[in-house]
Structure 1
Amino acid sequence: MSDPSELPRLLVQHAEACPFDPPEELARLRAERPVAPMTYPDGHEGWLVTEHALVREVLADPRFSHRAELVHFPLPGASLDAEPQPAPPGAFTAMDPPEHTRYRRLLTGQFTIRRMRRWTTRIEEIAAELLTAMERHGPPADLVETFSGPLPGLVICELLGVPAGDQDEFVRAMSVLGRLDVPAGEKAAAFGRMQALMLDLIRAKRERPTDDLLGGLVSGGDLTDDELAVIGGVLTGAGFDTTANMIATGVFALLSHPGQLAALRSDPALAGNAVEELLRYLSIIPATVRAALEDVELGGTLIKAGQSVTVSVPAANRDPKHFPDPGTLDLHRPTSAHVAFGHGIHQCLGQQLARVEMQVAIPALLDRFPSLRLAVPPEEIPMREDMLIYGVHRLPVTWDVPAHKENRS
């Protein structure tokens, strides 16, 4: 059995043979001890859960808290010199009911399936503009820089009503916050800059109301500027890096599986199912954590009050008890309760927006560039082992340019 102090590193590792696969040790833990003792980076003695059914049980059980001051950070790179602190007002993702419920209720109506589908046309326009710029640039190109990164950044900024001139600075601050290897002081500075930008934006919307998500919250009158700034930062962070990496890494996975790529190209109606399978197969969020509010028995193991419980999203989404042949990318697989967006009351608020962005972006890219392929060998693609969200740092791609376009250029 693995040394409990080594398990945090396991959460951010991938199989040597394939950058899309979790390490084999996670599968062994899931089979032999799905609730395993784990020593957290700060020395806390808690648990790691790897079985799909038990992961969903933890995420749905109100006896497991998500309050920031109660949970211990499970990933390497955690600051060891600071005690966990309560979430600031507005940081609803790190709260329990009733505080979480109050904030979530204010936001839920902004992220309904119907409302997100209304964004489809605008997302299609943004995707087309980026692809046209990419086409004009010509091959090769870095898909992260030219397409998968800008698209969700532009969408979330428009959703919140961030002026075009401030969007680059927002993205820079978000990029720092997502790194595991950045010192705590640099992260604090980036967070402070993000909050300052948000406060300026909120004050401008108080003076001149706008018809966007943040403008609607401002005009509602129930939240302070500080609360609104934190909410804006939470939504920006959650809506940018995850989707950007799902698009880029999803394309990498498709280009690495020619049969599945051909199936999607031949049947555009497969896009919705393809997105769900890519979310399951890639599982770019390594883990989430809860703290036991009381003694809880989980899978025959006693979790003591106060102990943190980390659930492995990749291990759960590759559980053969729930997903037959889980290591195979199969775009025709029936979608069935993956936990890429979490589960329970903290399930990702923006999941419908992420789905729409992926369902638009990936088919649009493949349609614009029928000969799209990797520009370097797969083993040379730099993976984001140093980031909270897994993915690719760069994805060099190339394509064939029609002769008439070459002549024009």
Structure 2
Amino acid sequence: METSVHPGFPLPEAHQCPFGPAALSFRRALPVQKVRCPSGIDAWLVTRAAEIRELLGDAERFSNRPAPNTHLLTHIVPDSPAADGDFTRMDGEAHQRFRRLFGPELMSRANLTRYEPVIQRIVDNRIDSLAALDTPANLHEHFAQPVVAAVLAELFGIPPHHSEIIERTTSRALDTRATPEQTLEEQLPLIELMYGLVTERRRSPGDDLLSKMLIRADGCDDPISDLELMAMAIILLVAGGDSTVSAFLSAIQALWDNPAQLAALRDAPTAIPLATEELIRYAAISLGGLRMATRRTELGDRTIESGDLIAAFLPAATWDPAHFPDPEHLDITRSGSGHLAFGYGAHLCPGRGLARMEIRIMLETILRRIPTLRPAGSPDERRYRTHNVVLGPAVLPAAWDFVAPA
């Protein structure tokens, strides 16, 4: 029986910028090594892009049965059975059975484009509200979080006055310190809201994502229950909420930290779509990605035993010099394509297209309408998220001189 004590999982400190994560030194030393994770379990930590692609892309050797954040969250047990509708812990056809219900809306470019004017309206309305604020103001609280919550509410047909529930729940759902009791208590308002909406849409479907999921579920050979649909919707809300907020805030901070890149982007706003992908690569805000070996196998230069847990450290992969030359340099002209910030393989983030669109529109609009947007306070005063699956600024104070009309 193994008794050695392993090094700790690399997590940023409150004063440590997550760009350039501690895992970079892990990759240079041993690209695959065993670590003690925040949840108390031991797992192999994989930090190079090549091994992470292999890990996430081979569902036969590496199962998704443990929840993707089990190594980080204390309220999930790796070998516990998956809850009804938790498609994130399923492989193969069981996983695709659920993914087909929302895939056409979230993964079709043609379907996503109809949300662009909705997002633009929400962003403009929120920027209008910034004009009434005294500066400095926190872009997390006053801009990014309410924008993303409002977009999700529109997507699922949730009444606007309930968007605060989305804000509150999604920002706390991925806290690594939360107990099972705390997690359930904090999610109860969202559970009640979404189950009520499923019941309502069952009686009277609309044109929202939840209604379309219900219609497709009714056409399945293997019926999908209301409880499963509710769970799926909550997973999508949680996954698409805080991560998009943090990705946008990290993008703004990265541009502030690279003023020449910010100036180039302001001079050529048509470059923002390309720059968005590079900013997503550069920030790489997700710490998730856990698999379980289904048999004895090799990964990198290591022998992995059946049942071993393997964690993909995505921030280190997006900064892998074997894949991106000079990865620690932000280059808004770099295509950035092929990064692993959204994962890889069958469980590639289904909401990546929506997230890209939200981040792009937020960047385009805030840089156009608030051209004097700048950081408030000194870099030494910055604090970053800790004890969370999602990296990024904990707060992002900003100042400006004026807000231009839409």
TM (normalized to structure 1)? 0.91
- Residue aligned with 1:98, SS: helix
2:105 maps to: 110
Residues 358-382 of structure 1: per-residue CA shift (max 9 Å, x gap): 1100121011111111111122122
2:371 maps to: 370
Q: Which consecutive unaligned segments of at least 5 residues does structure 2 have?
A: none
Match status 1:95 vs 2:95: no
2:247, 2:214 → 1: CA distance? 31
1:157 maps to: 153
Query: Contact (CA 8 Å) 1:239, 1:350: kept in 2 or not?
Result: yes
Q: What letter matches 2:55 in structure 1?
A: V
1:95, 1:311 → 2: CA distance? 17
Instruction: Tell me the CA shift for residue 79 of structure 1.
Output: 4.7
**In the superposition, relative to structure 1, how do residues 146 and 176 fare at CA in structure 2: closer, same or farther (>3 Å)?**
same
Instruction: Tell me the CA shift for residue 345 of structure 1.
Output: 0.4
- Residue aligned with 1:5, SS: coil
2:145, 2:167 → 1: CA distance? 9
1:349, 1:161 → 2: CA distance? 19
Match status 1:61 vs 2:58: yes
Match status 1:135 vs 2:145: no
Deviates more, 1:226-235 or 1:107-116: 107-116
- Residue aligned with 1:99, SS: helix
1:168 maps to: 164
Match status 1:20 vs 2:16: no
2:207 maps to: 211
2:41, 2:389 → 1: CA distance? 20
1:102, 1:296 → 2: CA distance? 28
1:216, 1:287 → 2: CA distance? 28
Match status 1:254 vs 2:255: yes
**In the superposition, relative to structure 1, how do residues 256 and 95 fare at CA in structure 2: closer, same or farther (>3 Å)?**
same
Query: Contact (CA 8 Å) 2:43, 2:71: kept in 1 or not?
Result: no
Query: Contact (CA 8 Å) 1:134, 1:146: kept in 2 or not?
Result: yes
- Residue aligned with 2:131, SS: helix
Instruction: Tell me the CA shift for residue 254 of structure 1.
Output: 0.8
Match status 1:334 vs 2:335: yes
Query: Contact (CA 8 Å) 1:143, 1:248: kept in 2 or not?
Result: yes
1:201 maps to: 197
- Residue aligned with 2:329, SS: coil
Match status 1:121 vs 2:117: yes
1:78, 1:189 → 2: CA distance? 15
**In the superposition, relative to structure 1, how do residues 6 and 40 fare at CA in structure 2: closer, same or farther (>3 Å)?**
same
Q: What letter matches 1:67 in structure 2?
A: R
Deviates more, 1:384-393 or 1:320-329: 384-393
2:305 maps to: 304
Query: Contact (CA 8 Å) 1:14, 1:22: kept in 2 or not?
Result: no
Query: Contact (CA 8 Å) 1:286, 1:313: kept in 2 or not?
Result: yes
Match status 1:47 vs 2:44: yes
**In the superposition, relative to structure 1, how do residues 288 and 258 fare at CA in structure 2: closer, same or farther (>3 Å)?**
same
2:177 maps to: 181
Q: What letter matches 1:50 in structure 2?
A: T
Paired residues in the alignment total 395
2:144, 2:181 → 1: CA distance? 29
2:17, 2:228 → 1: CA distance? 42
Instruction: Tell me the CA shift for residue 45 of structure 1.
Output: 4.1
Query: Contact (CA 8 Å) 2:75, 2:180: kept in 1 or not?
Result: yes
RMSD: 2.2
Match status 1:228 vs 2:224: no
**In the superposition, relative to structure 1, how do residues 244 and 42 fare at CA in structure 2: closer, same or farther (>3 Å)?**
closer
Query: Contact (CA 8 Å) 2:278, 2:332: kept in 1 or not?
Result: yes
- Bigger RCO of structures 1 and 2 (CA < 8 A, at least 6 apart): 2
**Percent of counterpart pairs with the same letter?**
34
Instruction: Tell me the CA shift for residue 347 of structure 1.
Output: 0.3
2:243 maps to: 242
1:7 maps to: 8
Query: Contact (CA 8 Å) 2:166, 2:190: kept in 1 or not?
Result: yes
Deviates more, 1:348-357 or 1:265-274: 265-274
Instruction: Tell me the CA shift for residue 41 of structure 1.
Output: 4.8
- Residue aligned with 2:323, SS: coil
Deviates more, 1:345-354 or 1:184-193: 184-193
- Residue aligned with 2:341, SS: coil
Match status 1:38 vs 2:35: yes
1:209, 1:267 → 2: CA distance? 43
**In the superposition, relative to structure 1, how do residues 17 and 163 fare at CA in structure 2: closer, same or farther (>3 Å)?**
closer
Instruction: Tell me the CA shift for residue 303 of structure 1.
Output: 0.7
- Of 81, 88, 91, the residue aligned with 1:86 is 81
Query: Contact (CA 8 Å) 1:144, 1:394: kept in 2 or not?
Result: yes
Instruction: Tell me the CA shift for residue 203 of structure 1.
Output: 1.0
2:317, 2:282 → 1: CA distance? 10
Query: Contact (CA 8 Å) 2:275, 2:335: kept in 1 or not?
Result: no
